[in-house]
Structure 1
Amino acid sequence: MSDLEITAVEAIPYSIPYRKPLRFASGEVSHAEHVLIRVHTRGGLVGTADAPPRPFTYGETQAGVIAVIESIFAPQIVGVDADRRDVMRKRLHRTVGNPVAKAAIDMAIWDVLGQAWSMPVHRLLGGFTDKLRVSHMLGFDTPEAMVAEANKMRDVYGISTFKVKVGRRPIDADVEVVRALRQTLGDKAELYMDGNRGWSPSEAARALEQLSDCGLTLAEELCPADDVLGRRWLVNHCSVPFIADESVTTPAEVTRELLGGSATAISIKTARSGFSGSEEILHLATGLGVEVVMGNQIDGQLGTACTVAFGAAHEATSGRAGELSNFLDMSDDLLTEPLEIIDGCLTAPTGPGIGVTVDPDKLAHYRTDN
């Protein structure tokens, strides 16, 4: 018997309110209703990761994540050594979908391996650097409120890159917001847009034309990938990299969107592809010569620690600011030592594995299964 043999997988639901709801074209989030995943080994190591269900994006719910892990995934990997990652991935992928549940198990296993080998995950994955510049995501609100939030993030945390949620109809409100942000923040701030599939291709083209003098650097999922011909037309006329996000949850989808002309850049989210799947997507994207950005699943600090670990590990993902700050909108968190954004950057935890510890008292307080 090996000390790395997996003996149990826990799926613990919890709920932490946000200070204010984050609103965007495909939905609204007022609570972090996530599932904490723990992978236990015979030698006593416990790997931990977070599963943030997004029913309006991937169809997963909190109850669904727990059910698929307890009834299907845990029985498939209990008894397997944690370093046999491809064996476990093959077994998990017998079940279609469920990207967030699979990703959390994968990252918890990497956490186990980092602890076993006394090395931070960002070093195991590549170790290119140990930090990322931070991009802050601004949800729907009035121009005044969104400008005030951006100013606070710049003044308090040194953040100078902002992802602006757009996709409202008519487009005028979002155009006004972007213009107000550019006027207030000046030319040194980086701004890019994320439509969460909210516009039609023609609406998105009109918004891009009206904002052509605002120096936007990226455009993300402005219209649905299912609008196949319209999306290709829009991307062909877009003067900045067009990021595929919700439409690229697997390497196969990345290939389809890029080779089909429906995207020219890729958002990588460890919350939906884990560390192993994210590596496959990264290598595919860089092999095809397209840019990547580390995305945000409205993560808490545990999920953010995973994102910065992967992003810092590789040259391609560390070149742009990663979306790493929305845990600041939560009223509380589970970690014993909170992450800190200093001078616009977030440093990957230095402890073995993912390098963070869940506070048992906070987990007991916020878990919803007891």
Structure 2
Amino acid sequence: MKIERIETIPYSIPYTKPLAFASGEVTDAEHVLVRIHTDEGLTGVADIPPRPYTYGETQDSVLAIINKVFAPAIVGLDPLERGKIHRILARTVHNQTARGGLDIALWDIIGKAASIPVSALLGGYATEMNVSHMLGFKPAPELLDEALRVRSEYGITTFKLKVGRKPLILDIEACHTLRDGLGPDIDLYLDANRGWTANEAFEVLRRTETVGLSLLEEPCDAKEAMSRRRLVDKSPIPIVGDESVPTAGDVSRELLSGGCNAVSIKTARSGFTEAQQILGLCTGLGVDVVMGNQIDTQIGTLATVAFGAAHEATSRRAGELSNYLDMSDDLLADPIVIRDGKILVPQVPGLGVEIANEKLERYRQDK
């Protein structure tokens, strides 16, 4: 089997509301659908979410790096030769989501060729994954209303609150409001997207110590090295690395230097192959992991579910899988269902991604 061609399709789907957080705001999912076609008729599919404020990639840069650099170098290779393909892709630095998307599409082909779900190939630990729902920047009463609705409608009992606002009291009040309104059994954790300094994060932790938070993600820029190490050392809850740990090398640096003591794994930026390397580092060192979200579509969510359900360590915590609920539409022909706070792994060969072609034609931007 050989890679015959790589197809990249830019598309844009509006969100039902702007999603705001400390490092940026998105109003539309301006993504790239990538399809790797083989000479045996099998096609691997993945969704690539460029995030210029996080990784420096844009929709145009993803298209350019795949079409002009990656595709010419790997067309003609066997998709099973992942090691050789990754050596070629690694010659180009950065471009995390472009490389991650190609890797996921390769795994989709392998699963289809073997007639096995990708999640089973990756580890097959579970057939479902618990869902965590992200709450963006809103007044505290509105955040509580959303959380109550999501819990009632989908059975979700884990919430990630985006923080990093100024003044700090906005986020502090939101934490207390959510805990008071949702009760003691809800898992609540924070993500500041580098919006605070380490000392500001200390202040928030001090003023929310009765809330029962479980994690604090990327509280400040990892370049604030000394204060961040002090925060990690003194914090009563794990400090999660996210933007600071996009690669396995970054993970090892931050863990060994004390820059974080938990890690967010995002398949959109690492693919499955490097995500396995990251998970191996974390489990070997006894470090907690959480499956993160790149404001993914349903296609990207299926990839996260496949990887998260495949391993025991990534199944311990609810994965961030519900951002697609804020999209006005999607490209999947068979939409994802969240029931009792869980998403099931599709029991079909590959990842289970079937594109609704009429929707792709409606939203694609290269016509």
State whether TM-score is above 0.5. Answer: yes
Shift of 1:348: 1.2
User: What SS does structure 2 have at the residue aligned with 1:30?
Assistant: strand
Give the letter aligned to residue 245 of structure 1. Answer: D
Q: Name the counterpart of 2:4.
A: 7
- Distance in 2, Cα, partners of 1:261 & 1:41: 44
Give the letter aligned to residue 101 of structure 1. Answer: A
- Distance in 2, Cα, partners of 1:362 & 1:264: 42
Shift of 1:209: 0.4
Shift of 1:237: 1.1
In the alignment, structure 1 residue 115 sits paired with structure 2 residue 112: yes
- Distance in 1, Cα, partners of 2:200 & 2:120: 44
In the alignment, structure 1 residue 208 sits paired with structure 2 residue 201: no
User: What SS does structure 1 have at the residue aligned with 2:348?
Assistant: coil
User: What SS does structure 1 have at the residue aligned with 2:30?
Assistant: strand
Shift of 1:92: 0.3
Shift of 1:205: 0.3
Q: Name the counterpart of 2:216.
A: 219
Shift of 1:120: 0.4
Shift of 1:342: 0.3
Match of 2:140 among 133, 143, 147: 143
Shift of 1:144: 1.4
Shift of 1:46: 0.7
- Distance in 1, Cα, partners of 2:353 & 2:75: 24
Give the letter aligned to residue 261 of structure 1. Answer: G
Shift of 1:169: 1.1
Q: Name the counterpart of 1:190.
A: 187
Shift of 1:346: 0.7
User: What SS does structure 2 have at the residue aligned with 1:21?
Assistant: strand
- Distance in 2, Cα, partners of 1:64 & 1:351: 33
- Distance in 1, Cα, partners of 2:247 & 2:261: 16
- Distance in 2, Cα, partners of 1:53 & 1:60: 5
Q: Name the counterpart of 2:352.
A: 355
Q: Name the counterpart of 2:311.
A: 314
1:83-112 deviation digits (Å, cap 9, x = unpaired): 000000000000000000000000001000
User: What SS does structure 2 have at the residue aligned with 1:141?
Assistant: coil
Shift of 1:224: 0.6
Moved over 2 A (4+): none
Give the letter aligned to residue 210 of structure 1. Answer: R
- Distance in 1, Cα, partners of 2:15 & 2:4: 34
Q: Name the counterpart of 2:361.
A: 364
In the alignment, structure 1 residue 242 sits paired with structure 2 residue 239: yes
User: What SS does structure 2 have at the residue aligned with 1:342?
Assistant: coil
Q: Name the counterpart of 2:19.
A: 22
In the alignment, structure 1 residue 33 sits paired with structure 2 residue 30: yes
User: What SS does structure 1 have at the residue aligned with 2:77?
Assistant: coil
Q: Name the counterpart of 2:131.
A: 134
- Distance in 2, Cα, partners of 1:293 & 1:223: 18
Give the letter aligned to residue 51 of structure 2. Answer: R
Give the letter aligned to residue 147 of structure 1. Answer: L
Give the letter aligned to residue 301 of structure 1. Answer: Q
1:30-109 maps to which residues of 2 (within 5 A)? 30-109=27-106
- Distance in 1, Cα, partners of 2:46 & 2:353: 10
User: What SS does structure 1 have at the residue aligned with 2:10?
Assistant: strand
1:141-199 deviation digits (Å, cap 9, x = unpaired): 11111111101110000000000000011111011111110010000101000000000
Q: Name the counterpart of 1:163.
A: 160
In the alignment, structure 1 residue 260 sits paired with structure 2 residue 242: no
Q: How many residues align?
A: 367
- Gaps in structure 2 of 5+ consecutive residues: none
- Distance in 1, Cα, partners of 2:114 & 2:24: 41
User: What SS does structure 2 have at the residue aligned with 1:89?
Assistant: helix
- Distance in 2, Cα, partners of 1:368 & 1:348: 30
* TM score, norm. by length of structure 2: 0.99
Shift of 1:315: 0.5
- Distance in 2, Cα, partners of 1:223 & 1:299: 23
1:321-359 deviation digits (Å, cap 9, x = unpaired): 000001011000000000000000111111110012011
Q: Name the counterpart of 2:178.
A: 181
Give the letter aligned to residue 152 of structure 1. Answer: R
In the alignment, structure 1 residue 275 sits paired with structure 2 residue 272: yes
1:324-363 maps to which residues of 2 (within 5 A)? 324-363=321-360
- Distance in 1, Cα, partners of 2:312 & 2:253: 24
User: What SS does structure 1 have at the residue aligned with 2:28?
Assistant: strand
Q: Aligned residues: percent identity?
A: 55
Give the letter aligned to residue 72 of structure 2. Answer: P
Q: Name the counterpart of 1:304.
A: 301
Match of 2:229 among 225, 228, 232: 232
User: What SS does structure 2 have at the residue aligned with 1:12?
Assistant: strand
User: What SS does structure 1 have at the residue aligned with 2:189?
Assistant: strand
Give the letter aligned to residue 17 of structure 2. Answer: K
- Gaps in structure 1 of 5+ consecutive residues: none
User: What SS does structure 2 have at the residue aligned with 1:354?
Assistant: coil
User: What SS does structure 2 have at the residue aligned with 1:278?
Assistant: helix
